[in-house]
Amino acid sequence: MALASGVRFAARALLRPWALLRGTTLGRTEPAAGGGGDGARRFGSQRVLVEPDAASGVAVMKLRNPPVNALSLELLTELVISLEKLENDKTFRGVILTSDCPRVFCAGLDLTEICGRNPAHCAEYWKAMQELWLRTYLSSLVLVAAINGACPAGGCIIALSCDCRVLADNPKYRIGLNETLLGIIAPFWLKDTYVNTIGHRASEQALQLGSLFPPAEALQVGLVDQVVPEDQVQSTALSEMARWLAVPDHARQLTKNMMRKATADRLLRQRDADTQNFVSFVCRDSIQKSLQAYLEKLRQRKG
Ligand SMILES: CCCCCC/C=C\CC(=O)SCCNC(=O)CCNC(=O)[C@H](O)C(C)(C)COP(=O)(O)OP(=O)(O)OC[C@H]1O[C@@H](n2cnc3c(N)ncnc32)[C@H](O)[C@@H]1OP(=O)(O)O
């Protein structure tokens, strides 16, 4: 797809050599825990562990950025690289996205990447966030989110861009776009993704209230597709993957593109404006104060 190649080019342009070199095992593989055939050889990077199973054509991609998988610039970059590697390997048809950190799927944007940072860094960071969303939302692979922990804001962006979502039935694992509670707002392309998933009225209310839905409510509003006991999340995600992979890839990919291209194109057409809007908004003194206060509150919670 022309769009995919455009996104691919943008991803390469985004990557910085050191992000590739720092502590990564990209290109190197290591035996997966428990051994197994050469289809089970793991690869990935410092913050993303990929457990591919060539026999099934399914890879499990684990976010591994403790303590809460905050979306640092490095994690964003490594997620795009790992996904691109799997998309370019025709062995693979599906990816299960999950967390290697206990209790948390992904805590959203790494607030230290935008608090007290200069506009140039905020711009680079936001481009990486756009890139990850474009890469996942338009992926030719089947993406299943196995949500095994809390999934606020940017974590919910990742889950929303997958084809379906399985959430562990733990009331502490809430999911939603809570940006307004931090004094910020979701960008239009995130609003669009929410509306595409749970509808306009539900999105309008949830976005304004910054709702974080516990599992039962997330299921009821349509934000997730299944809620299962915590120890069944991965197996349920695999079963769901099998259901999707039963469909011929080409027809499914064309249909996914038909459903999602208009939403993605809206960002692609105004990507620079979206970046400028993000930078001018988050660099405002009032927003910086609000974000710093929020971070401080998070840090005090441990006390
Ligand atoms: C035009 C403007 C566009 C705006 C962009 C809109 C798109 C996305 C917005 C976002 O994603 S903003 C981030 C929103 N995220 C949150 O609100 C989640 C905040 N975190 C939590 O609620 C909890 O940490 C948790 C995820 C439920 C996990 O709780 P737990 O008790 O397990 O861990 P904590 O003790 O709270 O945290 C551990 C450690 O991590 C730090 N931390 C947590 N979240 C973040 C984060 N998002 N960014 C940076 N750091 C984070 C937390 O402060 C603790 O740090 P230390 O005290 O250990 O130093």
What ipTM does this complex have?
A: 0.98
CB 278 near ligand 1, within 6 Å = yes
Q: Kindly name the residue from 74, 131, 179, 240 that is annotated as catalytic.
A: 179
d(CA 185, CA 179): 5
pLDDT at 302: 66
270 in any annotated domain: yes
Question: Looking at the DSSP assignment, which residues form a beta bridge with residue 175?
Answer: 151, 213
The single-letter DSSP state of residue 216 is: H
Query: Which token pair is 289?
Result: 């104060």
Distance 107 CA to ligand 1 centre (A): 5
Identify the burial level of 10 via C-beta atoms within 10 angstroms of its C-beta, where 0-12 means exposed, 13-18 middle and 19 or more buried: middle
d(CA 202, CA 181): 17
The total number of structural domains in the chain stands at 1
- The Cβ of residue 30 has, within 10 Å, a number of other Cβ atoms equal to 11
3-state DSSP assignment of residue 251: helix
> What's the average pLDDT block by block, 10 residues per block, for the chain (303 residues)?
44 44 43 44 86 96 98 98 96 98 98 97 98 98 98 98 98 98 96 98 98 98 98 98 98 98 98 98 96 93 65
24 in any annotated domain: no
The single-letter DSSP state of residue 71 is: B
CB 186 near ligand 1, within 6 Å = yes
pLDDT at 43: 76
pLDDT at 42: 76
pLDDT at 268: 98
pLDDT at 27: 41
35 in any annotated domain: no
Query: Which token pair is 89?
Result: 């390997």
d(CA 1, CA 7): 10
Active site residue 35: no
70 in any annotated domain: yes
Active site residue 69: no
**Cis amide linkage into residue 187, ω under 30° from 0:** no
Distance 74 CA to ligand 1 centre (A): 16
Angle between helices 188-198 and 200-209 (to 10 degrees): 130
2 in any annotated domain: no
Query: Which token pair is 249?
Result: 């890839």
23 in any annotated domain: no
pTM: predicted TM-score of the whole model, two decimal places: 0.89
pLDDT at 155: 98
**Can you give the CATH number for the domain in which 90 is found?**
3.90.226.10
9 in any annotated domain: no
148 in any annotated domain: yes
Picking from 86, 136, 84, 85, the residue whose alpha carbon sits closest to that of residue 106 is 136
d(CA 83, CA 119): 28
d(CA 94, CA 104): 23
User: What is the extent of the structural domain holding 144?
Assistant: 43-301
d(CA 166, CA 237): 6
Active site residue 257: no
